[in-house]
Structure 1
Amino acid sequence: MRSKRRLRWAVIPVAITLAVVLAGCTQAELHGYLPGFIEGEAPVTNHTERVAGLWVTSWIVLLAVGVVTWGLLIWAIVVYRRRKGQTGLPAQLRYNMPIEIFYTVIPLILVLGFFAFTARDQAAIEQPTANPDVKIEVFAKQWAWDFVYPDAVEGEDVWSTGVQAQDEPNADRGTVNQELLPTLYLPKGKTVEIALQSRDVIHSFWVIDFLYKKDMFPGKINYMYFTPEREGTYAGKCAELCGEYHSLMLFNVKVVSPGEYEDYLESLADQGNVGDFGEEYSRNSNLPGTTPASAEEEGK
């Protein structure tokens, strides 16, 4: 009875201290110092908060497991250390069923819990958006990006094509010229569907502040669904080693107002970037169904 009372009095100050510490946390601290968050502003997308929550909660649980494990190790080292004058082996125990059940069941519960919460959040993030406001096609290529906006201007596709990152003139080596990077424009507050395709090898579309990336495979289309919620320019890169200049396969994402987005699409049309710019420009001629027919086959 007395031990329970002592435990209760020990838990209360710990809980109060924890509450005070958490109340004083900044946005960066509450979200595990992940990118995509600014004090007093909305997350970058409607999924960013969910991803950060899964990450931070997982680390809290893992840290608690670590503290318990380290505590037991230190306790065993201190309590069961060999004392001066002791000889021989300590008493040997062959079985301890409660402990064996504990270290079997608890890890199983943790693994199932991590799986359940991950599956829940993944299902929500991957849920297709019915009738999205904006549909965009992203084509990865060695070592840059093409962005196609289907039926965007008077029923015609408009597009922008990019080259790999270029060094900034008269700057330190490795400083990239941001103006020359391929840039994907997105309208704030609009539901977006992005179709991800590769023109050659495996790539990966990663916008860092979105806290989300997805691989791009030759001959297969993957999709991303989200709603941009904060205007700004966000860095992106290929996250799959794709050849010699993989490190230069960079791009930017600009989230702008719907009006600015429409103006940008009109500017692409004014530049003459109108018409088909899709799979027909890919290098995947060796995929099933894409090999040109021989003259003999064409004559049949």
Structure 2
Amino acid sequence: MKKLVLFFFVIAFLSGCQMRVLNPKSDTADTLTDLIYLSFGIMMLVLIVVFVLFVAFLRKFRERGKAKFDIPPDEKENKWLEITWTLVPLLLIAILAVPTVKATYDLTSKVSGSAEGSQGDAMTVEVVGQQFNWKFTYENGKESYDELVLPVDQEVEFRLTSNDVIHSFWVPNLSGKIDVLPGEETRLSFEPREEGTFQGKCAEFCGAEHTLMRFETKVVSQEAFESWLEKE
């Protein structure tokens, strides 16, 4: 009973967390969330079928009276069952694989380690991860620490590098994770589609004060962004 109470306490605690992966606010996050829901749906389908068959077999073959001493006959061959349990997993894998491969290719242009991933009309933000903060530099030279301000409905390309160890740039509501490497530039782009404040963090343990590697991402209107950009 104590374990059950502890389980519900942990669930309630985590439900208050602001790092909401399944609450997408950008085009890239939409794609990733759809894949999560698809894989979860397939998993639940398999789980339900397994549990239904498990209960059915328990009821059918349970011990009762003299029958508990009977030895059931061996099932030597059933081609239809063999074909079924071979084709069904292949079908489920195909259902998951096709949209996953498509999404991977679609997102390839948004995640790159070279200039080939550059987005022509995108606004550029230079990102430097360092122990233990994030530095954001905009096209006009404005610098911001641990606060990322972005305009809504505007494609943004991030050019990321590290001054020391490997970090991982992650804003769950807006995009997936991407490693930030010392001495190498990686690129990521997405288009925020809703105004709001979203939590970002380093998803790679990077030292004793790793917990400080958090930042706020504020998505604002184009007018508010230009006004913020012009402030000293």
- TM interval, shorter chain, is 0.7 to 0.9
Gaps of 5+ in 2: 1-19, 111-117
User: Is 1:244 aligned to 2:208, yes or no?
Assistant: yes
Match of 1:6 in 2: none
**Alpha carbons of structure 1 residues 250 and 34: separation in structure 2 relative to 1, 3 Å:** closer
Q: 2:107 aligns with which of 112, 125, 148?
A: 125
User: What percentage of residue pairs aligned between the two structures are identical?
Assistant: 32
Counterpart contact for 1:125–1:225, Cα < 8 Å:
no
- Paired with 2:62 and 2:211, the residues of 1 have a C-alpha distance of 52
Matches within 5 A, 1:261-280: 261-267=225-231, 270=232
Report if the CA contact (8 A) 1:200-1:218 is conserved.
yes
Greater Cα radius of gyration, structure 1 or 2: 1
Task: Choose the corresponding residue for 2:79, options 93, 97, 109.
Answer: 97
Q: What are the Cα deviations for residues 213-268 of structure 1, in whole angstroms up to 9, with x where unaligned?
A: 2122223222212111111111111111111111221101111122222222222x
1:35–1:93 Cα change, 3 Å: closer
Q: CA deviation at 1:102?
A: 1.8
Contact 1:206 1:239 in 2 (8 A): yes
The one of 78, 87, 93 aligned to 2:59: 78
Partners of 1:198 and 1:145 in 2: how far apart?
A: 9
What is the rounded CA distance, in whole Å, between the counterparts of 1:66 and 1:235 in structure 2? 33
- Within the alignment, does 1:136 sit opposite 2:125 as a pair? yes
TM-score norm. by structure 1 comes to 0.63
Q: Helix, strand or coil: the match of 2:128?
A: strand
Q: C-alpha displacement at 1:204, in angstroms? A: 0.9
**1:156-167 paired onto structure 2 within 5 Å:** 157-160=141-144, 162=145
Asked if structure 1 preserves the Cα contact closer than 8 Å seen for 2:150 and 2:220, the reply is: yes
Q: Which of 52, 62, 65 in structure 1 is aligned with 2:43?
A: 62
State the Cα deviation string for residues 159-218 of structure 1 (Å, max 9, x = none): 22x3xxxxxxxxxxxxxxxxxxx1011111111111121221111111122252212222
Name which structure has the greater RCO, CA cutoff 8 Å, separation 6+.
2
Unpaired stretches in structure 1, ≥5 consecutive residues? 1-32, 37-42, 163-181, 271-300
Task: Work out the number of aligned pairs and report it.
Answer: 205
RMSD over aligned CA atoms reads: 2.0
Q: Find the aligned partners of 1:34 and 1:211 in 2 and give their Cα distance.
A: 9
